[in-house]
Amino acid sequence: MGLERKGGTMGIRIIAEAGVNHNGDLGVAKKMVRAAAEAGADYVKFQTFCPEKLVSKAAQKADYQKKTTGEPGGQLEMLQKLALRQEDFLELKKECGREGIGFLSTPFDLDSVDFLDALGMDFWKLPSGEITNLPYLEKIARTGKPIVMSTGMCGMEEVEAAVDCMRAAGAGEITLLHCNTEYPTPMRDVNLKAMQALRERFGLPVGYSDHTAGIEIPIAAAALGASVLEKHFTLSRAMEGPDHAASLEPEELKAMTAAVRNVELALGDGKKQPSESERKNMAAARKSIVAKRDIARGEILDGSNLTAKRPGTGISPMKWREVIGRRAERDFAADEMISFGEPDAPR
């Protein structure tokens, strides 16, 4: 199960989360589109919101936002500096089309849901903070589009309540992303096994939205069966703003994407059988039953005159008991492969 990647192929969808790392600058946002495309991501994702409809004047910054922006105060003033205009998203979608990468943006208020629904996206990407927002979840679900939802800060019961309400409202396919909403997430708090627990509990496709430093955890998530991976990136961690410090730079995003694609290939189909690449080595690596010493015709074959040595082009040592006790049909020199009947007869 799971949505198709951009271009129609199945596999792990990689979402490069630009978020608000453009600092409210359309030119920077366009550069981020190009960087995400060059890194090989399937989608680049932004955030669409009206600051006054997202937060009240009383909303204070999270601790990590105070630290990364270097100033205390409320979220409203910070978000006013980071918001893009609706017409900017029209330009960004066009830029994504030119660069061959999927466009996404997460809505953070109901009016932004309407705007993005009209703009058109392959699916919705919902943030962890909205999972307890019933009117928001129902409005998204009623569009009938597929939904990818982060589950940071949630217990299993909260996830179940959100899934139930969206299903009741007519949601399309739902994919659940395990997530930890701390920037950066300490390794001890990642708990990747929770991604598997979500799959077992709900029977839905699962993935992982990462806020750790570095690239190893998304790679591990890919190995554990994530169908979607999301990772914040920035043009430079030296830029000012709340999310840059916990984001990858373009070359790191590119390295992560390449590693995930390698893991995706390496996972294979789960069938245990020799691969085409290794078949040619079977003869060189396996063994055959050979003469341990010179053997005279008519001599009884046993452990005193037989052994197993490479190459594996003769009788397999797995037929050892079938050979023991038989008489040698001819003389054999030491190290010569044991055979019976005509030299070219099947064994």
Give kind and range of the element (H or E) at residue 210: strand 206-210
What is the chain's mean pLDDT, rounded? 94
Q: Is 8 a domain residue?
A: no
User: Is the domain of 227 the same as that of 339?
Assistant: no
CA–CA distance, 130 with 291 (Å, rounded to integer)? 74
User: Is the domain of 249 the same as that of 288?
Assistant: no
Length of the chain counted residue by residue: 347
- Read off the CATH number of the domain in which 64 is found: 3.20.20.70
Q: Is 4 a domain residue?
A: no
Q: Is 3 a domain residue?
A: no
User: Is the domain of 258 the same as that of 291?
Assistant: no
User: Is the domain of 158 the same as that of 50?
Assistant: yes
| The pLDDT of residue 62 | 81
Looking at residues 66-95, what average pLDDT do you find?
Answer: 88
| The pLDDT of residue 342 | 59
> What's the predicted TM-score (pTM) here?
0.88
User: Is the domain of 167 the same as that of 88?
Assistant: yes
| The pLDDT of residue 6 | 54
CA–CA distance, 131 with 108 (Å, rounded to integer)? 11
- What angle do helix axes 110-119 and 86-99 make, rounded to 10 degrees? 40
| The pLDDT of residue 3 | 60
Q: Is 7 a domain residue?
A: no
User: Is the domain of 242 the same as that of 101?
Assistant: yes
pLDDT tens digits for range 103-128: 999 999 999 999 999 999 999 999 99
Domain region containing 278: 274-347
First-to-last alpha carbon distance for the chain, in angstroms, is: 45
User: Is the domain of 216 the same as that of 68?
Assistant: yes
pLDDT tens digits for range 234-290: 999 999 888 898 999 999 999 999 999 999 999 999 999 999 999 999 999 999 999
Structural tokens at position 252: 């790191």
Tell me the three state secondary structure of residue 30.
Answer: helix
**Total Cβ atoms within 10 A of residue 95:** 20
Q: Which of the four pLDDT bands, split at 50, 70 and 90, describes residue 78?
A: confident
Q: Is the pLDDT of residue 151 over 60?
A: yes
Provide the domain count of the chain: 2
CA–CA distance, 341 with 344 (Å, rounded to integer)? 8
Taking phi over 0 as left and psi of -120 to 50 as alpha, with beta for the rest, 296 belongs to beta
* 318 DSSP assignment: G
**Total Cβ atoms within 10 A of residue 103:** 23
pLDDT tens digits for range 59-73: 887 887 877 787 777
Q: Is 1 a domain residue?
A: no
Q: How buried is residue 206: exposed, middle or buried, by Cβ count under 10 Å (0-12/13-18/19+)?
A: buried
Q: Is 93 a domain residue?
A: yes
Q: Is the pLDDT of residue 344 over 70?
A: no
Q: Which of the four pLDDT bands, split at 50, 70 and 90, describes residue 57?
A: confident
Domain boundary, last residue among 267, 291, 311: 267
CA–CA distance, 96 with 236 (Å, rounded to integer)? 20
Domain boundary, last residue among 205, 237, 267: 267
Looking at residues 283-311, what average pLDDT do you find?
Answer: 98
**Total Cβ atoms within 10 A of residue 204:** 17
Q: Is the pLDDT of residue 319 over 60?
A: yes
User: Is the domain of 239 the same as that of 289?
Assistant: no
Looking at residues 284-308, what average pLDDT do you find?
Answer: 98
Looking at residues 300-317, what average pLDDT do you find?
Answer: 98
User: Is the domain of 69 the same as that of 44?
Assistant: yes
User: Is the domain of 106 the same as that of 186?
Assistant: yes
CA–CA distance, 52 with 55 (Å, rounded to integer)? 6
User: Is the domain of 281 the same as that of 237?
Assistant: no
Domain boundary, last residue among 234, 267, 300: 267
| The pLDDT of residue 8 | 45
User: Is the domain of 36 the same as that of 102?
Assistant: yes
Q: Is the pLDDT of residue 327 over 60?
A: yes
Sign of the dihedral through C-alpha 191, 231, 78, 236: positive
Q: Is 74 a domain residue?
A: yes
Contact of 142 with 170, CB cutoff 8 Å: yes
| The pLDDT of residue 1 | 38
- Read off the CATH number of the domain in which 312 is found: 3.90.1210.10
Q: Is 25 a domain residue?
A: yes
